[in-house]
Amino acid sequence: MPPAKSITIIGGGLAGLTLGIGLRQRGVPVTIWEAGRYPRHRVCGEFISGNGPAVLGRLELLERFEQAGAVYARSVMFVRGASRSPVRRLSAPALCLSRHEMDALLAGSFQQLGGELLVNARWTSGESREGVVRAAGRRLQTAEKTPRWFGVKAHVSSASQLNLDADLEMHVSPSGYVGINRINGGEVNVCGLFRPREGNRQPGSKPDWLRGETGSLLRERLGAVEFEADSFCSVAGLQLKPQRASAKEECCIGDALTMTPPVTGNGMSMAFESAELAVEPLAAYSQGRLNWTETQQQIAQRCDVAFARRLVWARFLQWMMISPALQGRFGSLLLRSNWLWQLMFRRTR
């Protein structure tokens, strides 16, 4: 038997670490290059919904998440201006765990399985190479294109500071949206995605973006709370246009492949799913049963089949959430439509 070929993964976020774990479970030699270190906060709603929990279960990670204190969200409410949706039950519970704990937990699991994790190690080559998978996260817009989205996240130390009607409250405005949900340790995640609008007076600071406009329910919820200073993080210039894996030169998974609008709460699930979809072809490559071109093609094809439809619906949902055309009466009608909510929930995951 020839020796197993090793795999290099660029990026030790959710996709990279999950892939590393899946490959180590099959005995494949793996090295992950991670530009940062653990633990660290990330801009994220920390709300895993869709197929994510099932993938974690298959990789024997779900129990670890639960032991780390992950809590389940079972209900959701949308708020837009003066209109509120009814509190709705999620058809499957979502798993909520701080990225501070989540990424460190996955990094530890990968190392326990014998994976090599290089921290503070940035991969600098932009070339596509055999045996190398890019899991380096979201692509940022470099050119001055519009719209320019940016995200902000912070934690509130105790849920008792807030009076929430649902496990996840999603507050929508024409500038974007803010999600509020309970996470592990009795803390609350507050995370928003925004698009500064020309001619409008913009909030001066990150906490002000999260707290929302005067008079809104969001402001009522968050006006007096204290955010944990060290949990603040932000990211600018997000690229939300869907991408196809088969159009990429490199082998990519997670956000490096494509980003879904955060309102779906499905990005982390897509990171776990794309990692799982890549395990089998990469293990076959490592054992010499597939060449690199075949491996890359198989991964791309599996990801495109899994994600193409949900990305189209996710784009439509993102537009619906922020479109000025859907403000006012029509907007509040949509908010109350159970049929529309069920359709969007099903189709975006």
Ligand X SMILES: Cc1cc2nc3c(=O)[nH]c(=O)nc-3n(C[C@H](O)[C@H](O)[C@H](O)COP(=O)(O)OP(=O)(O)OC[C@H]3O[C@@H](n4cnc5c(N)ncnc54)[C@H](O)[C@@H]3O)c2cc1C
Comparing CB distances to ligand X, the nearer of 216 and 266 is 266
Q: Is 45 in the site for ligand X (CB under 6 A)?
A: yes
Please identify which residue in the block is written with the tokens 């189709």: 347
* 106 phi/psi in degrees, rounded to 5: -65, -40
Q: Is 123 in the site for ligand X (CB under 6 A)?
A: yes
Contact criterion met (CB below 8 Å) for 189 and 158: no
In the complex, least distance from residue 11 CB atom to ligand X, rounded to whole angstroms: 3
Taking the C-alpha atoms of residue 228 and residue 244, their distance in angstroms, rounded to an integer, is: 38
Q: Is 15 in the site for ligand X (CB under 6 A)?
A: yes
Q: Is 36 in the site for ligand X (CB under 6 A)?
A: yes
Spell out, one character per residue from 147 to 176, where the chain touches ligand X: x when CB under 6 A holds, - when not. Answer: ----x-------------------------
168-173 and 71-80 beta bridge pairing: parallel
Taking the C-alpha atoms of residue 205 and residue 106, their distance in angstroms, rounded to an integer, is: 33
Q: Is 258 in the site for ligand X (CB under 6 A)?
A: no
- Per DSSP, the three-state class of 236 is strand
DSSP characters over 11-79: --SHHHHHHHHHHHHTT--EEEE-SS-SS---SS--EE-SSHHHHHHHTT-HHHHHHTT-EEEEEEEEE
Residue from the set 271, 299, 321, 326 that interacts with ligand X by CB under 6 A:
271
Taking the C-alpha atoms of residue 14 and residue 27, their distance in angstroms, rounded to an integer, is: 20
Q: Is 115 in the site for ligand X (CB under 6 A)?
A: no
Q: In what order do the strands lie in the sheet with 251-252?
A: 116-118, 30-33, 7-10, 132-134, 251-252
Q: Is 306 in the site for ligand X (CB under 6 A)?
A: no
Comparing CB distances to ligand X, the nearer of 86 and 237 is 237
**Under rule CB under 6 A, which residues in 185-204 are in contact with ligand X?**
191, 193
Spell out, one character per residue from 208 to 247, where the chain touches ligand X: x when CB under 6 A holds, - when not. Answer: ---------------------------x--x---------
Residue from the set 16, 22, 212, 331 that interacts with ligand X by CB under 6 A:
16
- Positions in the binding site for ligand X (CB under 6 A): 10-16, 33-36, 42-48, 122-123, 135-138, 151, 191, 193, 235, 238, 254-256, 262, 265-269, 271
